[in-house]
Amino acid sequence: MTTTLITGGNKGLGRETARRLLAEGHTVWIGARDETRGRQAADELGARFVQLDVTDDASVAAAAATVAEQGGLDVLVNNAGITGTHADPAELTGADALAVLDTNVAGAVRTTTAFLPLLRDSAAPAIINVTSGLGSFAAVHDTDRVESTVVAPLYTASKSALTMLTVQYAKALPGIRVNAADPGYTATDLNGHSGPQTVTEGTDAVVALALQGAGGPTGTFTDRSGTAPF
């Protein structure tokens, strides 16, 4: 049986990913900062809950210890993310940037480092980083795509960094599939539920990567249609 941990798994794309993978027979851990909301989501779905704040080293280490005690891990889904401030780009501060990068990029580094020993014990380990087409040069320059209409310097830069981090981990961690998934413009709390895709459509790429066994691709950037341009 495959065991999967999803950070930020109590709502939106994370929760839907959990629901779909549970239906596929995975044992799913929902990692969430808020214990009340996280436990409620886990109880409603039939998942396991672990308190996990990706910006806190101690919280991440404690979560890894809990998952290790309960049998280990096969798939890590780095889903937790924030948009950050919506201030005028001309007024952004270094602190604004660090807040977004701490969650969206450094958070993935923290969880990867902490859970790596567990993944290395798996027969088919995988890391899936939930990124965005908003971090793709190709997408934001394509006037036929909605990404070209968005101006959000910190969020988009963080997703570019996360996608490149994926490539570097794929090279550095042989034997572990490390891939980036772009959900597409999906209706979630992050965008005020303005996206045209449902959360089910938005989780297609993540779920497909999570269901691949050993020998699947690594170092890829994919969306629900397949390999995406970067």
Q: Which residues are catalytic?
A: 132, 159
The C-alpha atoms of residue 77 and residue 7 are separated, in whole angstroms, by: 6
The C-alpha atoms of residue 61 and residue 55 are separated, in whole angstroms, by: 11
